[in-house]
């Protein structure tokens, strides 16, 4: 069974630009969660989507948004990039919503210059 | 108080010894607990999940859960250099809207 895939793996952007990251969950998994990981803040929850609906949202500004499609694939978008948005963005998939084991993709390394 | 707390380490253990990692959490209603291993530059990999009080063993790993004391621990027996990584504790509880909350991680160094 294929694992969680994320594209692109690496991105370099400049301040003020926007970026879209993609995540394809494990086949049969309907929930996708997104996390930001930085050396200083650790793993921080961005949002969770289940059956195309946002079920949970973390404490991030509105510049961070996401969506989920009917095939469970998910995208997250960051607009008006700031230097502090440089991080590893991880998505994780799970069968249901809440309480189940989450499996992470390889992540997208975003660098904002 | 942080929702999920771990000692950041590094925890240095000799090869073949037992590494003991601890994690405490604040949400008394938490029901699901997970340990992830993360190598430098890689994404977290799920190694253990535990849902009820007591011990759960999987190979060289043992997870221990004590809900009354609100802690969960991970033991790594016969530690190998390949176990050198950061270990993340994650907790799922109602106070956080049933999303996973991660601790800061404990860095483990296994010395040959």
Consecutive 10-residue averages of pLDDT for chain B (112 residues) = 89 97 94 96 95 96 97 98 97 80 96 94
d(CA B106, CA B9) in angstroms, rounded, equals 5
d(CA B17, CA B14) in angstroms, rounded, equals 6
Partners of residue B101 in chain A, C-beta under 8 Å:
45
Which among B13, B7, B34, B32 has a CA at the least distance from the CA of B76?
B13
A88, A37 in Cβ contact below 8 A? yes
Nearest residue of A to residue B44 by CA position? A104
pLDDT in tens, A12-51: 999 999 999 999 999 999 999 999 999 888 899 999 999 9
Q: Does B8 touch chain A (CB under 8 A)?
A: no
Cα–Cα distances in Å, from A104 out to A33, A40, B19, B36, B81? 9, 20, 24, 10, 23
pLDDT at res. A100: 79
d(CA A82, CA A18) in angstroms, rounded, equals 10
B72, B66 in Cβ contact below 8 A? yes
pLDDT at res. B100: 87
pLDDT at res. A99: 63
pLDDT at res. B94: 76
Q: Which of B32, B43, B99 sits opposite A104 (nearest CB)?
A: B43
CB contact under 8 A, A90 and B43: yes
pLDDT in tens, A42-100: 899 999 999 999 988 999 999 999 999 999 999 999 999 999 999 999 999 987 665 67
d(CA B10, CA A7) in angstroms, rounded, equals 32
pLDDT at res. B1: 66
Nearest residue of A to residue B51 by CA position? A99
CB contact under 8 A, A99 and B92: yes
């Amino acid at each position: 069974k294929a694992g969680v895939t994320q594209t692109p793996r690496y991105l370099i952007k400049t301040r003020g630009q926007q970026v879209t990251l993609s995540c394809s969950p494990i086949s049969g998994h309907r929930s996708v969660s997104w996390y930001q990981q930085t050396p200083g803040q650790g793993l921080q929850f961005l949002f969770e989507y289940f059956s195309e609906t946002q079920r949970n949202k973390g404490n991030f500004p509105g510049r961070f948004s996401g969506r989920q499609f009917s095939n469970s694939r998910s995208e997250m978008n960051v607009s008006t990039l700031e230097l502090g948005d440089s991080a590893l963005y991880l998505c994780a998939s799970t069968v249901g919503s809440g309480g189940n084991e989450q499996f992470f993709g390889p992540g997208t390394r975003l660098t904002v210059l | 108080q942080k929702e999920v707390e771990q000692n950041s380490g590094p925890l240095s253990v000799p090869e073949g010894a037992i590494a003991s990692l601890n994690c405490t959490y604040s949400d008394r209603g938490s029901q699901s607990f997970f340990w992830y291993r993360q190598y430098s530059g890689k994404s977290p990999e799920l190694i253990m999940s535990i849902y009820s009080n007591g011990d759960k063993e999987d190979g060289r790993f043992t997870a221990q859960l004590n809900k009354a004391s609100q802690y969960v621990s991970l033991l790594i027996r016969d530690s190998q250099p390949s176990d050198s990584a950061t270990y993340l504790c994650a907790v799922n509880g109602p106070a956080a809207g049933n999303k996973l909350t991660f601790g800061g991680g404990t860095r483990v160094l296994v010395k040959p």
